[in-house]
Amino acid sequence: MSAPSTQLLRRAGEWSGACDTVALSYEERFLRRKRLVSDGGRIFHVDLPETVSLEAGDAFELPDGSRIAVNAAPEALLEVRGAGLARLAWHIGNRHTPCRIEPDHLLIRHDHVLADMLARLGAELTELTAPFTPEGGAYGHGRTMGHEHGHAHHDHEH
C-alpha cells in the first residue's frame, strides 16, 4: 500500500486553516517533486502528478490533513524605471526574462548583465529585496516558459 500523498490546494488563502507557511523563491515555486522545510521547521515531501507553478496563497495539504501555505520569498531584484518603459520592457522580454510590470516601473531578478544593458539604454535601476511574482507567460499557465525554435526558428538580434 502506498503512502498518502501531499495535495496541492490552489488559492488556499480563500480557506482558513493553514498551520504553517513555506517561503519559496520564484524558481523554487516551480516544482513537481521536492523535499521542503516549512518556516516552522516541519519537513514534508511534495510529489505532484505534474510540474506546477505555485503562487503565493496556494497551500499543501499534508496526509494528516494539516495545511502549509505558500509565500513568495524575498529575492534580490532590480527595479527598472525611466523614459521609454515600453522599450525597456521589450528588451527584457526579448531575453525571455521573467518580469513584473507595474504602471511606472518593472521588476526583474537581479542580473548584472541585464543591469548593464538596461543602464546603457537609459534605465534608472534600484536594487531591492522583495517577493518576486512576475507576469505569467501566455503559454506557461502562470510561468514564462519560452517558446519553440523548431522549424519556425527566428533570430532575436534584428
| pLDDT of res. 123 | 98
Q: Span 85-102, mean pLDDT?
A: 95
Is 14 a residue whose pLDDT tops 90?
A: no
> pLDDT confidence of 1, banded at 50, 70, 90?
very low
- Vertex 31 angle, CA 30 and 35, to 5°: 130
* 121 vs 46: CA distance, rounded Å: 43
Helix axes 112-120, 85-94, angle to 10 degrees: 140
Instruction: Tell me the per-residue pLDDT of 95-147, one tens digit each, with 9 for 90 and over.
Output: 999 999 999 999 999 999 999 999 999 999 999 999 999 987 665 555 544 44
* 142 vs 133: CA distance, rounded Å: 10
Instruction: Tell me the per-residue pLDDT of 18-71, one tens digit each, with 9 for 90 and over.
Output: 789 999 999 999 999 999 999 999 999 999 999 998 988 899 999 998 899 999
| pLDDT of res. 12 | 61
Ordered by where they begin, the domains of the chain are: 7-72 (2.60.260.20), 75-131 (3.30.70.790)
> pLDDT confidence of 13, banded at 50, 70, 90?
low
* 157 vs 148: CA distance, rounded Å: 17
